[in-house]
Amino acid sequence: MESGGFTDFLQFIFMGLQRGCIYALVAMGFNIIYSATGVINFAQGEFVVLGGLMMVTLTTGFGLSIVFAFLISTLFVTIIGILMERCTINPVKKPTVLRLIIITIAVSILLKGVAMIIWGKGSHYMRHFSGSDPFVIAGATILPQTLWIIGILGVIVVAFVVFFNLTMTGKSMRACAINRDAACLAGINDRNMVMLSFALSAGIGAVAGIIVTPIIQMDYARGALLGLKGFGVAVVGGLGNSLGAVIAGILVGVLEALSGGYISSHYMDAIALLILLLVLFVRPSGLFGSSEASRLKEF
Amino acid sequence: MTEIILELKKLRKNFGGVVAVDHMDLTVESGSITSMIGPNGAGKTTIFNLITGFLKPSAGNILYRNTDISGMKPHVIARKAIARTFQNVQVFPQMTVLENVMVGRHIRSKSGFIISVLVPPFCRREDKKNRTDAEKWLDYVGLGHESDKTAGSLSLGNQRKLEIARALAMEPKIILLDEPASGLNARETVVMGRLIEKIRKMDITVVLVEHDMELVMDISDQIGVINFGRCIATGNPAEIQSNPEVIAAYLGE
Amino acid sequence: MRHKDYMGLGILLLVIIFLPFVITNDYYLGVLVFTALNCLTCIGLCLLMGYAGQISLGHAAFYALGAYATGILTAKLGWSSWMAMGTGVIISAGVAFLVGVPSLRLKGHYLAMATLGFGAIIHIVLIAAVNMTGGPSGVVGIPSLHFFGIELNTDTRFFYFSWSTVIIGLLLALNLIHSRVGRGLRAIHGSEDAAGSSGVNTSVYKIKVFMVSAVYASVAGSLYANYVNYIDPGPFDVMHSVLLLTMVAVGGMHTIWGAITGATVLSLLPEFLSSMSDYFESLGLSYQPDYDTLIYGGILLLMMLFLPEGLVDGMNSIRRITSTMFIRARKKLVF
């Protein structure tokens, strides 16, 4: 097949879309916990890894169907998220930012260690959801799995909008995020909202891990970089802004794929991180947030 | 008592659409005690934050001894001998009481990073002087006996005194006190009032934000009444007490 | 306070002088050399985190800059080790300045993530810039250090040298802590607003202490390269930054002795555990070096939950409790 300039370009765009959707999901995970607690969960990347590895075990190890394994893996990581909140965040009486950062870092090392002992150091292969024969569009190929990723991101975004705008629980969570004291006075149990935010965030992380594993082959050590990029995307989109995260995720994913294709694949990750750092330095409020508002937040 | 040390001219600060301070004019005479009163959220602390450089004015000027200091960084303003305390007490909780006051000597001493790293503490003359000066200011506010405790372990009243000692150690020309009596009991408030008058006698200008009317009326030379970010009246205590606009604002007409 | 610090230094000095008479095994001396290097880095990190209150999750990068400066300049360009170490220090301080200016305007989580990102970028560059760093296979043939004509080529010699560096580093750090600048830094930690309104130039101070802590890490990195004579990107990853942070946090951030304690305990722990592996096996457990990550994570979590002020403070409070218990018990005996 002849690989013209446009075909290459389109190929990179597809690759970027696929990465971007994953970053967007990780970033949304960061956003949920941040909105509810003001905490950045450094173990977010580990949720992704655990979701992916669990999926591998259930499908290739136990031979479960994709749908069933998907649900169990998500549930499994969600429970880990709840445990994390109950055992490590909830008991802290006098939380300082530094202490909370170190606690979530500790949890991330712990989860990483556990993952390494259970799943070993190798990377794990998993079959694609619906075959790995690519579709060809204008000479460029796109995997069915990529379509799955885009579709699932879409479903989750819609579910989010519905949950936070139309359900009572979702509205309560938003109320807590805006003003916790007022929400408590209105009879909302803020502690439960924090737990719920960890559960949701872990669940979303797991989904990201599950859908990406067939493409990247998950191993125990991937959490750090995924988490770092996901956080960067969350910042670019404006911390707490989930729609911003989706746009920023796709933007960063595409930029990364393009720089990998046209500049150097060795430095692809470094370039992506550099872009994210630059945004962090120049506009810590994100591309879509107002700078004045974020400066007023307690950071 | 005629020289003007601090002058706010048409000062304005808005956070997005919210106007916190608007068209604010105020002159402070050297050596006086000027108080700002007004309901909560009227913008008094915002004015302090503007004067001390924590916020940049959206419009207007702040003149200190006839130079414009608006928009300068906090530490630059501090070096001009403008000291302040905070509404929610800001001591350095992990440091000892004495060390807290020694931080106040920061602008009156020089040694930088390289000297600090290379010269051991017992060889520094400047440090010894800082220590004795700091002890002097602790005695001045009546905390001399607490000097080795950590600041975080002091009572609120003593933390407020410590904050003032730290500010005085800067040898300021003007000191801004943000609600120094809030959270204090009646007896402590009286002591605080005496301390403020003692500070004025050292020829340090005092600007005070305070809710305790008795204290304000007792010690102030001039009072500015702030409401919705504007100065609605200025005058001596007697004038303010009989001003119909002030009474309206306070009784909430 | 100060007298205690100098007493501590004296005790440390005595222990260091006599330790090689007790421990003659080269392997264990080597472990203690690595302990010294970690102590050195942690002193710097403690100045930044414990005293100035600014977090860094990228300190392995400065450790790497020191090591690679020494490695590349000595093995490939034939510079003297001391020149290389000095150049490493200048490079690290320069990079710390460039990274610090934009980063240290950030606070809390943002700063943590920015430094983490910086560390990750440096690690990627170490692997990818094959022409300069040798890529994954690293730099070989790094010469040993010479000190006044003595080649530091035995473990005992390097043990003394590395720990002397720690003592000097500690002395300089103590000077800084008990100075006008040190008080300014601690003031920033206590309340940045109050520090600013007391005349402390908070942004410049934060950048300078970041540079100082980078210099500590860089020197440790150079010594590492001189000691093992071979470097590759492996030990300089993000995980090492996290480990350094763990050491400082476990020992107790608020005192420099906490950093030393934390660095020593966590550097010796894996050796201790693997020396106990026979005992574990008799219990039906098998210990593998792979478990280190898990153990570090567990220790850090437990410390943060139950002894957030660190081991040194924790020991003090335990001592206080036991001494009051002792006094009470004695009173009971008397009456």
> What are chain C's partners, defined as 3 or more CB pairs within 8 angstroms?
A, B
Strand ranges across the sheet with B174-178: B82-84, B174-178, B205-209, B33-37, B222-227, B230-235
DSSP run (H or E) holding B6: strand B4-15
By the CB < 8 Å criterion, does C219 face chain B? no
| pLDDT of amino acid C176 | 92
Which residues of chain A neighbour B16 with C-beta distances below 8 Å?
290, 292-293
Strands A140-142 and A135-137, by their bridges, are: antiparallel
Which residues of chain C neighbour B174 with C-beta distances below 8 Å?
none
Of C125, C239, C298, the CB nearest to A270: C125
Q: For an interface test with C, which of B89, B97, B117, B159 has the most C Cβ atoms less than 10 Å from its Cβ?
A: B117
| pLDDT of amino acid C269 | 87
In the predicted model, is pLDDT for residue A192 greater than 90? Answer: no
In the predicted model, is pLDDT for residue A290 greater than 60? Answer: no
Q: Say what percent of chain C tops pLDDT 70.
A: 96
Structure tokens at B117: 């790293």
- Least-confidence region, from A265-269, C173-177, C228-232: A265-269
Average pLDDT of the residues in A42-64: 92
By the 8 A CB rule, do A117 and C290 touch? Answer: yes
Residue C106 identity: L
b/e string for B211-241 if b means 16 or more Cβ within 10 A? ebeebbbebbbbbbbbbebbbbbbeebeebe
B110 vs C221, residue with greater confidence: C221
| pLDDT of amino acid A289 | 62
List own/partner pairs for B41-44 with CB under 8 A and 24 or more apart: B42/B226, B42/B227, B42/B228, B42/B229, B43/B13, B43/B226, B43/B228, B43/B229, B44/B178, B44/B209, B44/B226
C-alpha triplet B221, B227, B233: angle, nearest 5°: 40
pLDDT tier, B207 (very low <50, low <70, confident <90, very high otherwise): very high
In the predicted model, is pLDDT for residue A297 greater than 50? Answer: no
The Cα-based distances of A68 to A74, A104, A204, C298 in angstroms read 10, 30, 17, 32
Three-class SS state of B112: coil
Among residues B23, B25, B20, the alpha carbon closest in space to that of B7 is found at B25
Strands B230-235 and B205-209, by their bridges, are: unpaired
Q: Say what percent of chain B tops pLDDT 70.
A: 98
- The answer to whether B116 contacts C180, with C-beta atoms less than 8 Å apart, is yes
By the 8 A CB rule, do A13 and A77 touch? Answer: no
| Sign, CA torsion A231/A233/A235/A238 | negative
**Nearest C-alpha of chain C: how many angstroms from B248?**
36
Among residues B140, B136, B179, the alpha carbon closest in space to that of B156 is found at B179
Structure tokens at A287: 């591309």
Cα separation of B29 and B124, whole Å? 39
pLDDT tier, A115 (very low <50, low <70, confident <90, very high otherwise): very high
Half-sphere exposure of A187 (CA within 13 A, CB side): 2
DSSP run (H or E) holding B146: none
Among residues B39, B41, B77, the alpha carbon closest in space to that of B56 is found at B77
Alpha helices of chain B — where are they, by DSSP H?
A: 44-51, 74-79, 97-104, 113-118, 125-141, 156-168, 186-201, 213-219, 237-241, 244-251
In the predicted model, is pLDDT for residue B253 greater than 70? Answer: no
**What does C95-137 look like in DSSP terms, one character per residue?**
HHHHHHHHHTTS-HHHHHHHHHHHHHHHHHHHHH-HHHH-GGG
Strand partners for A135: A142
Cα separation of A63 and A57, whole Å? 8
pLDDT single digits (tens) C199-250: 999 999 999 999 999 999 999 999 999 999 999 998 898 889 988 998 998 8
By the CB < 8 Å criterion, does C215 face chain A? no
Q: For an interface test with A, which of C236, C239, C293 has the most A Cβ atoms less than 10 Å from its Cβ?
A: C293
Three-class SS state of A246: helix
> What are chain A's partners, defined as 3 or more CB pairs within 8 angstroms?
B, C
pLDDT single digits (tens) A5-36: 888 888 899 999 999 999 999 999 999 888 88
B41 vs B67, residue with greater confidence: B67
Which residues of chain A neighbour C300 with C-beta distances below 8 Å?
102, 105-106, 109
**DSSP category for residue A85:** I
- Least-confidence region, from A278-287, B57-66, B116-125, C319-328: C319-328
Three-class SS state of A155: helix
pLDDT tier, A128 (very low <50, low <70, confident <90, very high otherwise): confident
Which residues of chain C neighbour B75 with C-beta distances below 8 Å?
196-197, 199-202
Mean pLDDT estimate for chain B? 89
Q: For an interface test with A, which of C304, C309, C313 has the most A Cβ atoms less than 10 Å from its Cβ?
A: C304
| Sign, CA torsion B225/B172/C104/A37 | negative
**Nearest C-alpha of chain B: how many angstroms from C30?**
30
Structure tokens at A116: 């390494």
Average pLDDT of the residues in B61-67: 91
**Nearest C-alpha of chain B: how many angstroms from C53?**
12
Residue B143: φ, ψ to 5°: -120, 15
Which residues of chain B neighbour C181 with C-beta distances below 8 Å?
111-113, 116
Which residue of chain A is at minimal alpha-carbon distance from C115?
Answer: A277
Which residue of chain B is at minimal alpha-carbon distance from C53?
Answer: B94
| pLDDT of amino acid A299 | 30
A-B contacts at Cβ under 8 angstroms:
5
Q: Say what percent of chain C tops pLDDT 90.
A: 48
Cα separation of A42 and C117, whole Å? 13
| pLDDT of amino acid B251 | 61
Cα separation of C223 and C162, whole Å? 8
Strands C146-147 and B59-64, by their bridges, are: unpaired
By the 8 A CB rule, do A190 and A183 touch? Answer: yes
Strands B82-84 and B174-178, by their bridges, are: parallel
> For B1-81+172-253, CATH number?
3.40.50.300
| pLDDT of amino acid A280 | 84
Structure tokens at B97: 């009481």
- Least-confidence region, from A74-83, A172-181, C12-21, C228-237: A172-181
**Nearest C-alpha of chain B: how many angstroms from A289?**
13
Half-sphere exposure of A149 (CA within 13 A, CB side): 30
| pLDDT of amino acid A46 | 94
**Nearest C-alpha of chain C: how many angstroms from A221?**
10
By the CB < 8 Å criterion, does C45 face chain A? no
Structure tokens at B135: 């002890």
Residue A60 identity: T
| pLDDT of amino acid A3 | 55
Cα separation of A21 and A44, whole Å? 16
CATH topology of domain A11-292: ABC transporter involved in vitamin B12 uptake, BtuC (1.10.3470)
**Nearest C-alpha of chain C: how many angstroms from A166?**
31
Extents of the domains making up chain A: 11-292
| pLDDT of amino acid A293 | 43
Which residues of chain B neighbour A293 with C-beta distances below 8 Å?
16
Radius of gyration of chain A (CA): 19
C103 vs C72, residue with greater confidence: C72
Q: For an interface test with C, which of B48, B77, B85, B90 has the most C Cβ atoms less than 10 Å from its Cβ?
A: B90
DSSP run (H or E) holding B123: none
> What are chain B's partners, defined as 3 or more CB pairs within 8 angstroms?
A, C
| pLDDT of amino acid A294 | 42
Residue A142: φ, ψ to 5°: -135, 130
In the predicted model, is pLDDT for residue A2 greater than 60? Answer: no
Three-class SS state of B84: strand
pLDDT tier, A238 (very low <50, low <70, confident <90, very high otherwise): confident
Q: How many CB atoms lie within 10 A of CB A149?
A: 26
Extents of the domains making up chain B: 1-81+172-253, 91-171
- The answer to whether B121 contacts C175, with C-beta atoms less than 8 Å apart, is yes
DSSP run (H or E) holding B29: strand B18-29
